[in-house]
Amino acid sequence: MSVRDDRYDVAVVGVGGMGSATAYHLADRGLDVVGLERYDIPHSQGSSHGITRIIRRAYYEHPSYVPLIERAYDLWDDLADETGRDIIHRTGSIDAGPVDNDVFAGSKRSCEEHDIPHEVLTGAEVNERFPGYELPEDYRAVYQEDGGFVVPEQSIIGYTEAAQARGAEIRARERVEDWAETNDGGVRVRTDRGVYVADALVLAAGAWNYKLADALDGLAIPERQALAWFQPESPATFAPEEFPVWNLSVPEGRFYGFPVHDVPGFKLGKYHHRDEEVDPDDFDREPNRADEAILRDVTEKYFPEAAGPTMSLATCMFTNSPDEHFILDTLPDHPQVAVGAGFSGHGFKFASVIGEILADRAGDGESDLPLDMFSLDRFE
């Protein structure tokens, strides 16, 4: 096993959504960076695939996310300008449910607290304005015109290439086996191909993070998810210019979905699909009829014109923290090791700014953004 002669400023483990953005922001600051990815770039084994990912300014999970999402939008637009790739597709966003439900009420609250332009609609008004929807008429919805989706694979490619253009060394199909602190306070990272030494380390390995940091055991828990694409009767009704992305709380659970884009089919998923905690190295990646039935039943009830033949099924993973808020911190006893974890199914839209935050954490640890709620010590 070879030991690299060069010492890097920072090693980044994982070059998916968060890791590619981190590698870019580090390289953009003139740092010597190596990024290590166990699979391809991009790949479909973790949490950074699926063709479309929702982005929205209205944020029902907690109003404190709004400053982060504002910065994320700016950085995604910067990436689009630099690479010429269409990174954000603005379709508008719908957050809907019963009037007293957190999805609606939380989105409305975040818009009001942060002066985000929005409209409050009844379910009947949503159905009339966007004919692909068939929501209960007495439901309430927040419509925010700047919502839409980010394209994850193109984002990862864009950040990877931009990092490489700034001198970052990105290495795929190289599995990190362990890391240790060096005598001088740096880190030594051992992979199945070699050994790398760096002043600092960023763990952005998604569902595998807990296997690389004992401090994350029980705090970053992988969960199996499933997605479906169903062919609408009239695909034009579900085109991006006609059909907003959505989050919907109904008696069947909390679901999310997208217009038709790039591949055939109306896409949707369910948060905490079947409540299956998994080992990312040992679980059933093949979607099955039970997965499909959960998603088809909700489509038939609330989006009936989209409930045509199945076009595709896929699995992915969430990595959940106990409170479903992010973990953006350095490790106890290892201040030179930054970690981004626990994105709990709502993280990819923030990847652009999380890369910036993790680059800050790997440097002097300072950030201009409000990050107290993302610290590890909240679980003590």
52 is a catalytic site residue: yes
CB 296 within 8 A of CB 308: no
Catalytic residue chosen out of the listed positions 38, 57, 261, 316: 316
Both structure tokens of 265: 């089919």
Burial class (CB in 10 A: 0-12, 13-18, 19+), 368: exposed
The C-alpha atoms of residue 366 and residue 63 are separated, in whole angstroms, by 21
First CA to last CA distance, the chain: 39
The C-alpha atoms of residue 123 and residue 125 are separated, in whole angstroms, by 5
Catalytic residue chosen out of the listed positions 22, 25, 38, 53: 53
Q: What residues form DSSP beta bridges with 150?
A: 53, 88
Catalytic residue chosen out of the listed positions 56, 270, 334, 349: 349
Both structure tokens of 222: 């992988």
Cβ neighbours around 332 below 10 Å, total: 13
Both structure tokens of 190: 């051992």
301 is a catalytic site residue: no
Cβ neighbours around 85 below 10 Å, total: 14
49 is a catalytic site residue: yes
Catalytic residue chosen out of the listed positions 38, 108, 118, 267: 267
The C-alpha atoms of residue 325 and residue 328 are separated, in whole angstroms, by 10
Both structure tokens of 296: 């088809």
User: What DSSP character marks residue 367?
Assistant: -
CA atoms within 13 A on the CB side of 91: 29
Residue 291's nearest CA partner among 201, 225, 210 is 225
Catalytic residue chosen out of the listed positions 43, 272, 296, 378: 272
Catalytic residue chosen out of the listed positions 22, 52, 191, 299: 52
Catalytic residue chosen out of the listed positions 22, 25, 38, 49: 49
114 is a catalytic site residue: no
Could you give the residue numbers annotated as active site?
49, 52-53, 267, 272, 316, 349
